[in-house]
């Protein structure tokens, strides 16, 4: 997996991969800007309704807190959802360079399929983390394990989604569940790398692209010869 990471890092300057990075970055920032705009006006409207003259300072603080919380939970969801839409281009670029035979036999995913996979990934990350939020809070109160639990859960989710982005080009839909069971550990390790990268400020923006490229190497190197 370490070799896959450095191979993926080295391909960031590939024009096709760089273009996906730019598109996904711009779309991710646009969605966050829209989220921030919506939160700002929603919080200010609600605070003005309930607090009157005291609403201004409270609303500003509330928006900052909510945006920080949204970044913690939603950044990964939005970024993975967005890269899911463009992932086929990254996978195709990696395959063309390192796995030409597999690339020749692969089927390109339709935009509709890519969009469905990307949205599914983002929604799944949000819903599962929301469902587990009582566990995170309980662990936070006890002073142990919140970050570890969050890291493990999101590594599992990320590894699943990144793996599917590649496997969908080479396997029928009905074959995916069996393949997932067979590759659980390898995809979890992949998710750990991707989640780790996405926890680093600034570097986090290249995390989804690196993850998609690494998933391509992991898929083909893990297939029977």
* Mean pLDDT of the 76-90 span: 84
What DSSP designation does 109 have?
P
Residue 6 half-sphere exposure toward CB, CA atoms < 13 A: 2
H/E segment holding residue 43: helix 15-51
Q: Would you place residue 225 in the very low, low, confident or very high pLDDT band (cuts 50, 70, 90)?
A: low
pLDDT category, 138, cuts 50, 70, 90? confident
What pLDDT does residue 52 have?
A: 62
For position 54, what pLDDT does the model report?
Answer: 54
Is 85's pLDDT higher than 80?
A: yes
How far is it, in rounded angstroms, from Cα 31 to Cα 204?
Answer: 16
- Res. 72 pLDDT band, cuts 50 70 90: low
Report which of 214, 209, 223 is spatially closest to residue 84, judged by C-alpha positions: 209
Report pLDDT for 51: 63
Are 187 and 165 in contact by the 8 Å Cβ rule? The answer is no
Sign of CA dihedral 96, 101, 102, 103: positive
Q: Grade residue 217 by pLDDT with cuts at 50, 70 and 90.
A: very high
Summarised one tens digit per residue, pLDDT across range 152-206 is 998 999 898 888 889 988 988 888 888 888 888 999 999 998 888 887 777 788 8
> Per-domain residue ranges for the chain?
2-28+75-220
Q: Which pTM was predicted?
A: 0.82
With a CB cutoff of 8 Å and minimum separation 6, the contacts of 162 are 87, 187, 190, 191, 194, 211, 212, 214, 215
Band the pLDDT of 224: cuts 50, 70, 90: low
């Amino acid at each position: 997996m370490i070799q896959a990471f450095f191979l993926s890092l080295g391909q960031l300057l590939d024009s096709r991969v760089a273009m996906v990075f730019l598109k996904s970055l711009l779309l991710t920032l646009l969605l966050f800007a829209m989220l921030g705009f919506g939160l700002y006006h929603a919080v200010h409207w609600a605070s003005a309704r309930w607090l009157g003259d005291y609403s201004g300072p409270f609303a500003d603080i509330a928006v900052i807190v909510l945006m920080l919380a949204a970044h913690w939970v939603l950044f990964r969801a939005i970024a993975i959802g967005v890269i899911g839409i463009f992932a086929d281009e990254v996978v195709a670029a990696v395959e063309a360079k390192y796995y030409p035979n597999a690339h020749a036999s692969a089927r390109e995913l339709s935009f509709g399929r890519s969009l469905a996979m990307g949205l599914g990934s983002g929604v799944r990350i949000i819903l599962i983390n929301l469902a587990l939020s009582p566990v995170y809070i309980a662990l936070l109160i006890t002073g142990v394990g919140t970050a570890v639990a969050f890291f493990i859960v999101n590594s599992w989710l990320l590894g699943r989604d990144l793996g599917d982005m590649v496997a969908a080009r080479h396997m029928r839909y009905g074959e995916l569940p069996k393949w997932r069971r067979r590759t659980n550990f390898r995809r979890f390790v992949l998710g750990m790398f991707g989640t780790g990268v996405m926890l680093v400020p600034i570097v986090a923006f290249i995390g989804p692209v690196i993850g998609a490229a690494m998933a391509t190497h992991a898929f083909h190197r893990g297939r029977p010869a």
